[in-house]
Homo-oligomer: A and B are copies of this chain.
């Protein structure tokens, strides 16, 4: 009977994991390491013998573990938190990820590994482990200190960049080459997809969940949440992105729901069950022989992770204006790799582009750096004292002056307010344009597929294209109008600031008006050209195009107010959801 061997596998996993985690907890080590060791013990490479019968099913369940891990990461992510994260997080995360990918790649090349292995090694080293850091800071009771808050900020930015790396790696692995054009196109498409998914998701999903939550049945809410989670993962897979991305995004969307606390509550036990299976499955794959064979690379990579992250994150924090002590603490806190690295290593294996040794090496490095983390955090203060004593006074003064200079150039008062306004307008324009581009992409996507059904009504291919293109333009109108209005407001603002009466004299008002009218029109034309380029596959003939644009312009003129109202309503709904605080 298949089911019994399956239950036996589960029993062995849970029993051994239970015992080992209790032992690890008593030794004050993270539970995650306990799982991996438990997997190692029951795995096929260690005596007494392989205790798992049906490794395939366990691996399938481990995939569920990844989904639930990323889903819960998404639930904890929340856009609100991302908006609040300061410059430190962005600078440190960018520095860390670029430096670590480069270091990892160079190490791989140094050991003579192939390009793909080196590239994946770089990605594996790029992202620190939220689980391990939270655990370590909890144990050290440092969770509420300033540097801990900075670290959490870096982790949030890392999550979103990590998701990007996974999407990029999938693309590169499939095409087999790394061209900068491709990277740009992948990043562009990915950002577009994420923006559209977030906007549409946040408009739809929290409302749906609120409706189901009204029935006050945990069971129904859970089934709905699971359905949306798996369903969205499936959609993302169909769009040829990684399932991991889908799980994270739908989690981030649900994080804006008022039922967030309840959802976390319901999903946590399920995540714990499947993530235990995931980490045990990682342990299953460790072959001690590989670890011995690769002892030297493991040692080098471990040192590179600790030093590289310490320097890049520390430097990033310092550049963003933190003092040396805090920067060092941030850097040393982030000096490890964890679950994200496993997911990236697993991606390489699933896509069959990396060698067999990479996964065990990543696990070994993660285990060692995890064990080091609490000691590194505790060593940060003594080290900063030592450094303070060692560094020559003149250099220390330079550091000090940098901090002061940085504070002096920060926009303050009216300037800061203005910068915030410009940022906000540009963000809104960006989101609206992303939606427009997404509409045209979807149109192009369907144009290829529905042509067959369509041909019953409209036989001419040119006419078909015209209809689809026209419909896309019509759907885009509210967003185009909104973008135009935002751009107009922006250009009025800029005209007000740049054209001072002292300079333009009596022409001031006229020059300002010209600028305020010309900039948005110019940008709209650029946008239009962009759309034409992007939708080139379904572009109708020139006559049709002109006709459609004229019709669209007429529709826009007639329904101007209505379009604005529809758009405003959507925007209000979106902001309402984002501004809602979840129920406790």
A266 on the B face (CB < 8 A):
yes
A31 at the interface (CB under 8 A from B): yes
| Residue in B1, B14, B217, B276 whose beta carbon sits within 8 Å of that of A231 in the complex | B14
- In chain A, residues 463-494, which have Cβ atoms closer than 8 Å to a Cβ of chain B? none
Known: A215-B25, A269-B267, A270-B270. A223 touches B18 (CB 8 A): yes
- Complex alpha-carbon distance, A343 and B349, angstroms: 40
Interface pair A215/B6, CB less than 8 Å apart: no
Q: Which range holds the interface residue count of chain A? A: 35 or more
Contact in complex: A3, B268 (CB < 8 Å): no
* Choice from B67, B222, B233, B272 contacting A219 with Cβ under 8 Å: B272
- Give Cα distance in the complex from A131 to B31, angstroms: 36
Q: Does A442 contact B (CB under 8 A)?
A: no
Q: Is the CB of A25 within 8 A of B273?
A: no
A270–B269 CA distance with the chains assembled, in angstroms: 7
Q: A31-B219, A269-B266 are in contact. Are A60 and B3 (CB under 8 A)?
A: yes
With both chains docked as a complex, state the minimum distance between the C-beta of A75 and any C-beta of chain B, in angstroms: 14
Is A426 interfacial (CB-CB < 8 Å)?
no
Structural contact, B243 and A11, CB atoms closer than 8 A: no
Given A21-B223, A25-B217, A243–B4 Cβ distance below 8 Å? yes
Are A222 and B63 closer than 8 Å at their CB atoms?
no
The answer to whether B56 and A2 touch across the interface, beta carbons within 8 angstroms, is yes
* Cα distance, A17 to B13, chains bound together (Å): 30
Q: Please, which residue of chain B has its CB at the minimum distance from the CB of A9?
A: B230
In the complex, A15 has a CB within 8 A of chain B: yes
Q: A237-B4, A243-B4 are in contact. Are A31 and B222 (CB under 8 A)?
A: no
Whether A285 is near chain B, meaning CB under 8 Å from some CB there, is no
State A224–B227 Cα separation when bound (angstroms).
Answer: 28
In the assembled complex, A220 has its CB within 8 A of some CB on chain B: yes
Considering the chains assembled together, what is the distance between the CA atoms of A2 and B15 in angstroms? Answer: 27
Contacts A220-B18, A231-B11 given; indicate if A60 touches B2 (C-beta within 8 A).
yes
Does A226 lie at the interface of the complex (its beta carbon under 8 Å from any beta carbon of B)?
yes
Instruction: Identify which of residues 1-35 in chain A touch chain B, using a CB-to-CB cut-off of 8 Å.
Output: 1-4, 6-8, 10-11, 13-18, 21-22, 25, 31
Assembled-state Cα–Cα distance A495/B293 (Å): 81
Contact of A226 among B14, B220, B227, B266 (CB under 8 A): B14
Distance, CA A227 to CA B20, complexed state (A): 12
In the complex the two chains form, what is the Cα distance from A308 to B322 in whole Å?
Answer: 79
State whether B272 touches A222 (Cβ < 8 A): yes
Instruction: Flag if B63 contacts A218 (CB, 8 Å).
Output: no
CB distance from A41 to the nearest CB of B (A): 14
List B contacts of A15 (CB < 8 A): 227-228, 230-231
Fill in one digit per residue for A403-434: 1 if any B CB lies within 8 Å of its CB, else 0: 00000000000000000000000000000000
Are A273's CB and B220's CB within 8 A? no
**Contact of A179 with B by CB under 8 A:** no
Residues of chain B with a CB closer than 8 A to A64's CB: 7, 10
Interchain Cβ contacts under 8 Å between A and B, 27 examples: A2-B56, A3-B59, A3-B63, A4-B234, A4-B243, A7-B63, A7-B64, A7-B237, A10-B64, A14-B226, A15-B227, A17-B227, A18-B212, A18-B223, A18-B224, A18-B227, A21-B223, A22-B220, A31-B217, A222-B272, A223-B272, A223-B273, A226-B273, A267-B269, A269-B269, A269-B270, A270-B273
Chain A to chain B: the 4 pairs with minimum beta-carbon distance, closest first: A14-B227, A11-B230, A15-B227, A3-B63
User: Which of A's residues lie within 8 Å of B, judged by CB?
Assistant: 1-4, 6-8, 10-11, 13-18, 21-22, 25, 31, 56-57, 59-60, 63-64, 67, 212, 215, 217-220, 222-224, 226-231, 233-234, 237, 243, 266-270, 272-273, 276, 350
- Told that A14-B230, A21-B220, A218-B268 touch, could you supply 4 new A-B pairs with CB distance under 8 A? A4-B237, A4-B243, A18-B212, A22-B215
